Amino acid sequence: MDCIFCKIIDGSIPSRKIYEDKFTYAFLDIADDVDGHTLVVPKKHIRDIFDLDKLTSEHLLTAVKMISQHYVEKCGYDGVNILHASGEAAGQTVFHFHFHIIPRKTDDNINCWTNFPGRKKTLDEMLEVLKIN
Active site residues: 98
Task: Let me know if 39 is exposed, middle or buried by CB neighbors in 10 A (0-12, 13-18, 19+).
Answer: buried
Report the chain's C-alpha Rg in angstroms: 17
* Separation CA 108–CA 83 (nearest Å): 17
- Cβ-based neighbour number of residue 42 at 10 Å: 23
Cα 131 from chain centroid (whole Å): 26
Q: Report helix, strand or coil for 54.
A: helix
